[in-house]
Structure 1
């Protein structure tokens, strides 16, 4: 593991997903999934999200589309919150999911809209 890339990834992961969420994921890591958590932090968040060529907002927008298409509701929920943190507006999220529905199928759009509304309600509650 490259400590510099891992540390950069940990910083970005916490900034996007929230410190409490990341700390909980790491706290619950055991011998089985700890290597996976380290890989996600170093590779996904450090080596990829840590690149300068795309801003975090753009990366969030791409993630929303890809995760919606892959039908990964737990990850989509987490990344909707992260997208809001990265400055993606609700209107932009709507347009992303309209694009998903057009190119990946209406059922993917239906689920994406439903999850987004649930996340917005949670965020609005505070």
Structure 2
């Protein structure tokens, strides 16, 4: 077995012949689901996202200016996200979570959380 610096929950198995690697198998991550919303060109992508309870949603700013992600009901609020910054929130209750950018209110999105 060769250690490769993979995340602790990942396991890699290598079969070596001579100096070359023939095969690699990797187990999937376990635990909470994860999902991502990209912020780019003054939009949230995807604009609407459906996830299960317990999912961690990460908002990542790929725009060249700051954005601030805020739930309409106040259940989550990021700090100002500069280019390359991200904010993660774990959805622990089912429901609809519309959100917007507090710096650019025309930017809107929605997360639907199901049991």
> Which TM-score applies when normalising by structure 1?
0.25
- Structure index of larger Rg: 2
> Which TM-score applies when normalising by structure 2?
0.26
Q: Answer 1 or 2: which has greater helix percent.
A: 1
